[in-house]
Structure 1
Amino acid sequence: MASDNLTHLAAFAAVARHRNFRRAGAELGLSTSAVSYAIRALEERLGVGLFHRTTRSVAPTEAGQRLLERLQPALEQVNEALEEMNRFRAAPAGLLRINATRAAVGTQLRPRLVRFLQLHPDVRVELTEDEDLVDIVADGYDAGVRLHESVPEDMVAVPLGPPLRGLIVASPAYLQRRPAPRHPRELVQHECIRFRFVSGRVYKWQFERDGQALEVDVPGRLTLGNQSSIIGAVLDGIGLSYVLEDAARPYLDDGRMVAVLEDWCDVFPGFALYYPKQRQMTAALRAFVDMLRE
Structure 2
Amino acid sequence: MLKQLLAATALAATLVGPAFAQDADTVVATVNGETITLGQLIAMRQGLDPQTTQGLPDAALWDLMLDQMVRQTAVAQQAQPLSKRDTAALEIERRAYLAGSVLEKVAGAEPTEDELKAAYDQAFGGETQPKIEYNAAHILVKTKEEADAIEAQLKDGGDFGAIAAEKSTDPTSGPNKGDLGWFQPEQMVAPFADAVKAMKKGEISAPVETQFGWHVIKLVDERETQPPKFDEIKDQLAVQVRRDKVQAEIEKRVAESKVEKTEGLSPDLLGKTELLGE
Question: TM-score by structure 2 length?
Answer: 0.26
**Structure exhibiting the larger radius of gyration computed from Cα positions:** 2
Structure with the largest fraction of strand = 1
